[in-house]
């Protein structure tokens, strides 16, 4: 018989690239396995997975929000309400009872679109945030934002000659999903010189090129706050982007999963695209994504999130429902996580003080770390770094010596991948090279998270590595 | 601007059909909403969702296995070990500690392939089941079996002229996923006359036709125990199927999610395809699926499962890993559910007696209900029903009066959909018409679950409806 080989499988799948868990992450896992042996011979004691925004991972150990975990524990085993009532605040018990009454067991499939009560909670949250109505029937709960993005991209793309506008640098989920569904990524560059802002001119240029190439643009992806850049859009730019979508009949995919990760909310606030579109009374179709994996919850492993549909006709909503139903339903504990995020304890309720303290601490720690890390990175020779006002990352630019670039070329690697591989081998710190996010030719970057265990250990190791690297390749 | 319409979206998505949550299920939801009002005017008090194997749904309320829920509650909020130690058996606490040590927080993303410790548990379970080695690196944990099926079909299909052999009747996930990825379903019919057995002759015929049509067959789907039929394959047939895969270079997709739902294990035992393939020393590539949604756990809402890869080359394993990593990781509570399923309490451990009692009760109840329901359905005029030896369903055949078939045709419905819609409107019982599973022309069926709340209320209503329907359309 003929064996199964990569030559015989779907070529679209071969084209998929996902660097966040790619070569570097796989090598990090190999090092981690080695570290369990006494004679590992590695010059570090542990792996720091700075390649992925995963706040609760081992070694980082950002504590979960107690409120969320208490509600979830009662949903898992309701008998605890009677067996250990003293262990739970009253508002936790009340919330669990309310959810149980509506849901029944979390071991049952829910409505494919998500538990109706939780969709109502989400709609209320959006109404309070934006000051415009939100319809629970236009909300789809998902297993993290990724499944929603994947579902909608697979629906919007009409192969072989249609595409979606993607910011560069971008979160590689978008290009990976496009490749999987034989869609074309239409890249537009963000402007590093002005804090990674979004340029209408760049997008118009990308559109013109796509028309020239016979590619039909279907949608525009905006990540706000940005990933990997942390940039925040101002409302004026948002309005211009909405007009651009009107002009070119584009669907707007608004990735707003970092909306609660704001380090400088006074100078860099967040406004949702839903609000802008409603205020302008624009007819453009918008899908906006949110997630429990980021923000202060950081409940990545739970797999929860949602997307809201704005200006989407019923026929398309029915189609989305059908596709959601093939996956049957999002994980119930992820859905409970969404409820806990959008409907936290209120002042005066028993859980409020602890919830407030825990969430404040996470916000403050992240803002402080981001600031310190950006300052220290910017002091390094050949490194420049926009101090992110949002999200969980920094995206330093590397100006590398010619001899390093030549050595990378000989090794068959892009210079930033070459740099990141050595960083991993020498310090145990795993980052994602700029190559994974798309970038302009000849520029080099890497993305690292600001979820470090201790700034000194982490940034100290980065600094020492960088100085040695620059020396090794003949600069400094 | 041009609005978003169904004419502008991916035509592959428009072709997807998924009847389990289709027209009937949507109408059932509408009735359910009506029932909350006093003047609903419906001739029943509640909806019975017999369209989906969802044991813990409201109204059915199959209790969850306490063991699973206790472990999960401690994973959610580990502080309970100190706050309420008396509430938990010692072996539950030990298991939770072991898992926490390996995983850390369930709020963190895990390895994309699933927690290594849990993959080891799965490998041990498979080794004990089959008597052949299993490699944790060849196991992928998933969010229910569906995500694994979807991932692998998207990988195996090479559009536009390749297909996968699908049993008819089939679980519509397969055709839905094929449609989404522009693959072609190559149907082969199961033999109702011999307890829905799998006929090599039928498959050879389907293959011959696909070659004639220029369609390359890539894989063979076998659902064992069958869905919707409940049929179990004998080992002789399994060996013949493996030889057929060798002859035609087919990948075997073995959907074995009902392996623990056996109502007559002495006369109708389950043997995994992994065991058959290893015993024959066959080189055919096999992917075998399991799930926590069925069996005795019925933890559908948790979204957990796995697939094991047998005879799959490393290059393909790497490709699967890449695609799994785009989805980042399966839900952690689903993964914990898998661990609880494959590594239950052992005799002598504190949780064992309760676990044994709970699981025995579920097995016995399901076997008894299946038997009684099949007997009573078989007594109805125009109904014949193979008494399923496995899974959760019955699949009765309807011999309907000509006038009913004409009325259905006038209403633009298939006769079994016409029947099922009236059943829903008159009794509140939601089933899936045979149309949704594929069927031979001119034959009519429906699938219903044996997870009924009370046999008398449920089957009594079915019987009464059927007799009235037959009278209405001029027979009996």
| Nearest of A344, A271, A313, A258 to residue A137 by alpha carbon | A313
Chain A CB contacts of B295 below 8 Å: none
Give strand pairing partners of B222.
Answer: B254
Task: Output b/e per residue, A283-303; b: 16+ Cβ within 10 A.
Answer: ebbbbbbbbbbbbbbbbbbbb
CA distance B467 to chain A (A): 32
Burial of A239 (0-12, 13-18, 19+ CB in 10 A): middle
Q: How many CB atoms within 10 Å of residue A264?
A: 15
Q: Is the pLDDT of residue A475 over 70?
A: no
Contact of B245 with B221, CB cutoff 8 Å? no
The pLDDT score that the predictor gives to residue A20 is 67
Q: Cβ contacts of residue B120 below 8 Å, gap of 6+?
A: B136
Averaged pLDDT for residues B198-212:
96
Residues B221-248, mean pLDDT to the nearest whole number: 96
Contact A4 B331 (CB under 8 A): no
**Which residue's structure tokens are 């409120």?**
A67
Q: How far is CA A377 from the centre of its chain?
A: 23
Chain A residues touching residue B111 (CB < 8 angstroms): 29
| pLDDT-based confidence at residue A197 (cuts at 50, 70, 90) | very high
Task: List chain A residues with CB under 8 Å of B80.
Answer: 73, 80, 84, 87
What are the domain boundaries of chain A?
Answer: 6-62+357-472, 100-342
Tokens of A363: 């916000």
Distances (CA, A) of A304 to A221, A269, A335, A340: 21, 24, 6, 11
Opening angle at CA A425, ends A420 and A429, nearest 5: 60
What percent of chain B shows pLDDT beyond 70?
99
Question: Does A331 contact B57 at a Cβ distance shorter than 8 Å?
Answer: no
Distances (CA, A) of A268 to A126, A224, A390, A397: 20, 11, 8, 22
Q: How far is CA A311 from CA A155, A168, A206, B405, in A?
A: 16, 27, 25, 41
Q: Beta strand A48-49 with A429-430: parallel, antiparallel or unpaired?
A: parallel
Distance, in Å, from the CA atom of B448 to the CA atom of B419, rounded to the nearest integer, reads 13
Of all residues in chain B, what percent carry a pLDDT higher than 90?
84
Task: For A79-91, write each residue's pLDDT tens digit.
Answer: 999 999 999 999 9
Residues of chain B found within 8 Å of residue A54, distances taken between Cβ atoms = 108-109
- Mean pLDDT across the stretch A190-206? 94
Segment B142-170, tens digit of pLDDT: 999 999 999 999 999 998 899 999 999 98
- For residue B162, how far is the Cα from the chain centroid? 25
Do residues B48 and B59 make contact, with C-beta atoms less than 8 angstroms apart? yes
Confidence of residue B21 (pLDDT cuts 50, 70, 90): low
Number of other CB atoms surrounding residue A344 within 10 Å: 19
Q: Name which of B67, B155, B97, B89 is nearest A77 in CA terms.
A: B67
Residues of A in contact with B114 (CB under 8 A): none
Q: What is the mean pLDDT of residues B406-429?
A: 95
Check A325 against B77: CB less than 8 A apart. no
Dihedral sign (CA A466, A395, A457, B116): negative
Q: Torsion-angle region of residue B380: left (phi > 0), alpha (psi -120 to 50) or beta? A: beta
* Closest among B357, B334, B288, B258 to B55, alpha carbons compared: B258
The token duo for B476 is 């009996």
CA quadruple B150, B152, B157, B158: dihedral, nearest 10: 120
The residues, ordered by sequence, that sit 6+ positions from B66 with a Cβ below 8 Å of its Cβ are A77, B351, B354, B355, B358
Name the architecture of domain A100-342: 3-Layer(aba) Sandwich (3.40)
- Please indicate whether, in this complex, the C-beta atoms of B18 and A326 are within 8 angstroms of each other: yes
Residue B332 tokens read as: 């952690």
Question: How is residue A145 annotated by DSSP?
Answer: H
CA distance A76 to chain B (A): 5
Q: Which pLDDT band, with edges at 50, 70 and 90, does A414 fall under?
A: very high
ipTM of the shown complex:
0.94
Of B1, B70, B316, the CB nearest to A284: B1
**Which residue is listed with tokens 């981690």?**
A32
Report the share of chain A in percent with pLDDT over 90. Answer: 84
- Nearest-CA distance from A299 to chain B in Å? 4
pLDDT at site B162: 94
Report CA-CA distances (Å) from B212 to B163, B165, B207, B441.
13, 15, 9, 22
- Verify whether the Cβ–Cβ distance B158 to A10 is below 8 Å: yes
Cβ pair A1:B247 closer than 8 A: yes
Read off the pLDDT band of A442 (50, 70, 90): confident
Mean pLDDT of chain B: 93
Chain B interface disruption, residue of A109, A181, A329, most B CBs within 10 A: A109
Question: Scanning every residue of chain A, which has its alpha carbon at the shortest distance from the alpha carbon of B106?
Answer: A301
Q: Which of B4, B109, B247 sits opposite A285 (nearest CB)?
A: B4
pLDDT tens string A384-409: 999 999 999 999 999 999 999 999 99
Q: What are phi and psi of B241, to 5 degrees?
A: -65, -40
Q: Alpha-carbon distance A281 to A243, whole Å?
A: 11
Chain A closest CA to B418's CA: distance in Å?
21
Read off the pLDDT of residues A26-82 as tens digits, 9 standing for 90 and up. Answer: 899 899 889 989 899 999 998 988 888 899 988 777 899 999 999 999 999 999 999
Q: DSSP assignment, residue A47?
A: -
DSSP A303-330: --EEEEEES--HHHHHHHHHHHHHT---
Q: Do A57 and B22 touch (CB under 8 A)?
A: no
Q: Please write the tens of the pLDDT for every residue from A134-166.
A: 999 999 999 999 999 999 999 999 988 999 999
Q: What is the pLDDT of residue A105?
A: 95
Collect all residues of chain B within an 8 Å Cβ-Cβ radius of residue A157. 10
All residues of chain A having their beta carbon less than 8 Å from the beta carbon of residue B25 are 325
pLDDT for B197 equals 94
For A290-336, how does the pLDDT look when each residue is reduced to its tens digit (9 = 90+)? 999 999 999 999 999 999 999 999 999 999 999 998 888 999 999 99
Sign of the Cα torsion B73, B332, A111, B56 reads negative
CB A370 within 8 A of CB A205: no
Q: How confident is the model at residue B475 (pLDDT cuts 50, 70, 90)?
A: low
How far off is chain B from A131, nearest CA to CA, in Å?
25
Q: What is the pLDDT of residue B476?
A: 52
Query: What are the angstrom distances between the C-alpha of B65 and each of A355, B61, B62, B70, B180?
Result: 32, 12, 9, 9, 35
**C-alpha dihedral, A55 to A56 to A61 to A65, nearest 10°:** 100
Query: Residue B403: what pLDDT?
Result: 95
CATH architecture of the domain formed by B6-62+357-472: Alpha-Beta Complex (3.90)
Q: How far is A201 from A203, CA to CA, in rounded Å?
A: 5
Say how far apart CA B125 and CA B346 lie, in whole Å: 13
| Contact between B56 and A9 using a beta-carbon 8 Å cutoff | no
Helices (H) and strands (E) in chain A, counts: 17, 14
Cβ contact (<8 Å) for B301 and A331?
yes
Question: In chain B, which residues have their Cβ closer than 8 Å to the Cβ of A301?
Answer: 105-110, 329, 331-332
The answer to whether residues B15 and B179 touch, using CB atoms and an 8 Å cutoff, is yes
In terms of phi and psi (left: phi > 0; alpha: psi -120 to 50; beta: otherwise), the region of A182 is left
pLDDT of residue A271: 98
**Cα-Cα-Cα-Cα dihedral sign, residues B12, B13, B15, B19:** positive
Pairing of β A383-384 and β B393-394: unpaired
- Does the pLDDT of residue A288 top 70, yes or no? yes
Of A30-34, A280-284, B97-101, give the lowest mean pLDDT range: A30-34
The pLDDT of residue A73 is 98
């Amino acid at each position: 018989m003929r064996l199964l080989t990569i030559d015989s499988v779907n070529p679209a799948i071969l084209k998929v690239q996902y660097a966040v868990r790619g070569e570097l992450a796989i090598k990090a896992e190999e090092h981690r396995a080695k570290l369990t042996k006494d004679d590992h011979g590695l010059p570090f004691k542990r792996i720091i997975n700075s390649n992925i925004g995963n706040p609760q991972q081992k070694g980082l150990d950002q504590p979960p929000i107690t409120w969320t975990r208490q509600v979830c524990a009662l949903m898992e085993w309701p008998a605890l309400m009677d067996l250990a009532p003293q262990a739970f605040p009253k508002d936790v018990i009340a919330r669990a009872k309310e959810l149980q009454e509506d849901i029944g067991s979390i071991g049952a499939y829910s409505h494919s679109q998500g538990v109706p009560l939780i969709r109502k909670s989400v709609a209320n949250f959006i109404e309070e945030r934006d000051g415009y109505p939100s319809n629970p029937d236009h909300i789809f709960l998902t297993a993290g934002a990724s499944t929603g993005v994947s579902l909608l991209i697979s629906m919007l793309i009409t192969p072989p000659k249609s595409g979606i506008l993607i910011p560069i640098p971008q979160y590689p989920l978008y290009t990976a999903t496009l490749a999987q569904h034989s869609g074309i990524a239409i890249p537009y560059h963000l402007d590093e010189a002005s804090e990674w802002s979004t340029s209408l001119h760049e997008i118009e240029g990308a559109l013109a090129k796509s028309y020239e190439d016979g590619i039909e643009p279907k949608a525009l992806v905006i990540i706000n706050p940005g990933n990997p850049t942390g940039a925040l859009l101002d409302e004026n730019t948002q309005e211009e982007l909405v007009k651009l979508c009107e002009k070119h009949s584009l669907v707007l995919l608004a990735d707003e999963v970092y909306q609660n990760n704001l380090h400088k909310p006074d100078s860099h606030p967040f406004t949702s695209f839903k609000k802008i579109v409603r205020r302008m009374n624009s007819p453009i179709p918008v899908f906006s994504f949110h997630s429990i994996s980021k923000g202060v919850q950081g409940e990545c492993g739970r797999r929860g999130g949602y997307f809201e549909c704005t200006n989407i006709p019923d026929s398309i909503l029915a189609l989305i429902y059908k596709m959601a139903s093939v996956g049957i339903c999002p994980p119930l504990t992820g859905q409970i996580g969404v409820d806990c995020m959008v409907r936290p304890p209120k002042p005066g309720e028993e859980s409020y003080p602890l919830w407030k303290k825990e969430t404040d601490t996470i916000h403050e720690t992240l803002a402080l770390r981001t600031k310190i890390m950006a300052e220290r990175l910017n002091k390094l020779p050949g490194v420049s770094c926009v101090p992110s006002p949002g999200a969980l990352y920094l995206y330093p630019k590397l100006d590398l010596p010619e001899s390093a670039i030549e050595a990378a070329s000989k090794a068959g690697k892009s210079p930033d991948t070459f740099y990141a591989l050595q960083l991993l081998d020498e310090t145990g710190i795993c980052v994602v090279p700029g190559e994974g996010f798309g970038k302009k030719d000849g520029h080099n970057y890497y993305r690292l998270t600001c979820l470090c265990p201790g700034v000194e250990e982490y940034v100290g190791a980065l600094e020492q590595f960088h100085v040695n690297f620059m020396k090794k390749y003949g600069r400094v």
